[in-house]
Amino acid sequence: QVELVESGGGLVQTGGSLRLSCAASGRSFVNYAVGWFRQAPGTEREFVATVNWGGGSAINPEYADSVKGRFAISRDDSNNAVYLQMNSLKPEDTGVYFCAAVRAHYGGKWDSLYDYWGPGTQVTVSS
């Protein structure tokens, strides 16, 4: 069982940056692929980024087209954490951001493939 907790959300102006953290407890994170998803009010949850499991494997992040070049996902298995650096934020990036994990090499872009979810952290980008 893995428990996930997100942090780092907040209110930022257009063009600003935030760094979200996803901390895992319960067991080592190294054998889990981790994804970030977001959900704006009245919309379905959507994929943001994913990173394959660690443990010395080559890291191959994937991103939604809407965040490519602005967001970067990284992992620090020594600290059981995954991060999402968000730069050049836009109002359309507003939403609740969730991290999710699955005990697999690769998680993919579909939220149904992930077994563990955090409660989410709110990101609000003002225009």
Structure tokens at 127: 């225009």
Number of CB atoms found within 10 A of residue 42's CB: 5
The letter for the amino acid at 46 is E
Q: E strands, the chain, where?
A: 3-7, 10-13, 18-25, 33-39, 46-51, 62-63, 71-76, 81-86, 95-102, 116-117, 121-126
% of the chain exceeding 70 in pLDDT: 97
The CA distance from 81 to 30, in Å, is: 9
Give, in order, the Cα–Cα distances in Å from 32 to each of 25, 88, 89.
12, 29, 28
pLDDT at position 53:
86
The CA distance from 29 to 78, in Å, is: 9
pLDDT at position 13:
98
Q: In the structure, what pLDDT confidence band is assigned to residue 122 with cuts at 50, 70 and 90?
A: very high
pLDDT in tens, 23-77: 999 878 888 999 999 999 999 999 999 999 877 676 789 999 999 999 999 999 8
pLDDT at position 27:
79
Are 100 and 83 in contact by the 8 Å Cβ rule? The answer is: no
Average pLDDT, the chain: 94
pLDDT at position 90:
98
78 vs 54, residue with greater confidence? 78
The CA distance from 24 to 79, in Å, is: 9
Counting Cα atoms < 13 Å in the Cβ hemisphere of 37 gives 24
pLDDT at position 1:
82
% of the chain exceeding 90 in pLDDT: 81
pLDDT at position 54:
76
pLDDT at position 28:
82
